[in-house]
A = this chain, B = another copy of it.
Amino acid sequence: MRALPLSRVYQLIEPGPVVLLSTARKTRSGARPNVMTMSWHMMVEFEPPLIACLVSGANHSFAALDKTGECVIAIPARKMAKQVVAIGNSSGAEIDKFTAFDLTARPAKKVAAPLIAECFANLECRVADRALVRRYNLFILEAVQAWIDPKQKTAKTIHHQGYGRFAVDGPVLQLDSRMR
């Protein structure tokens, strides 16, 4: 994976792909990685990149994110769609999802949560603002390091429309625009 300038992180999150969120919970026997599927996230600031996301208290990942203040947002391409659904339909309270779903955890540079090698992009994040965590489980994260897989240059993302239905990225439109 190659480092991606932080100024380009918004180009990954703004289009609304389904993402995976990895965490590392501290236990007596070492850090225990976990991963969940997430579609409720948005950009808040270009640079440093701030990303808002919802992590329900019903998710096993909530406690790890809340306690450690760290996570990785990993972006899967279409070929991982079945894994994405399986990850979303299971709980880290019951299984080791990295093992169960053939995910390769790689050490991150700045956070304890692992990168996911199979994903085409990985964003190392720290919790930057907890003002709305109690009320909505809404975290504001700062991406502190970003990675892109140069071998997955044409990765197409998937967008959840409810109940296992996903739109895959289709044709690309390039329009003349002054918008960043």
Q: Identify A42's interface contact among B54, B135, B180, CB under 8 A.
A: B54
Q: Are A167 and B15 in contact (CB under 8 A)?
A: yes
Contacts of A53 in B (CB 8 A): 42
A54 interface neighbour in B16, B44, B81, Cβ under 8 Å: B44
Q: In the complex the two chains form, is A162's CB within 8 Å of B89's CB?
A: no
CB neighbors of B among A140-179 (8 A) = 140, 156-179
Q: Interface size for chain A: under 10, 10 to 19, 20 to 34, or 35 or more residues?
A: 35 or more
Specify which chain B residues have a CB less than 8 angstroms from the CB of A158 in the assembled complex.
Answer: 173
Q: Which residues of B contact A179 (CB under 8 A)?
A: 37, 85, 88-89, 160, 163-164
Partner of A169, one of B44, B160, B167: B167
User: Given the interface contacts A138-B52, A159-B16, does A177 sit within 8 Å of B42 by beta carbon?
Assistant: no
A93–chain B nearest beta-carbon distance, Å? 16
Q: Which A residues from 29 to 55 make CB contacts under 8 A with B?
A: 37, 39-45, 50, 52-54
Q: Knowing A15-B161, A44-B136, A162-B14 are in contact, say whether A170-B173 is a contact too (CB < 8 A).
A: no
- Cα A177 to Cα B52 in complex, Å, equals 25
Decide if B172 touches A169 in the complex (CB within 8 Å).
no
Q: What are the residues of chain B within 8 A of A175 when measuring CB–CB?
A: 81-82, 85, 164-166
In the complex, are the beta carbons of A161 and B42 less than 8 A apart?
no
Besides the known contacts A159-B169, A162-B180, A168-B170, 12 further A-B residue pairs in the complex with CB atoms under 8 A apart: A15-B159, A40-B43, A41-B42, A44-B54, A50-B136, A85-B177, A156-B170, A164-B174, A165-B174, A167-B171, A169-B169, A169-B170
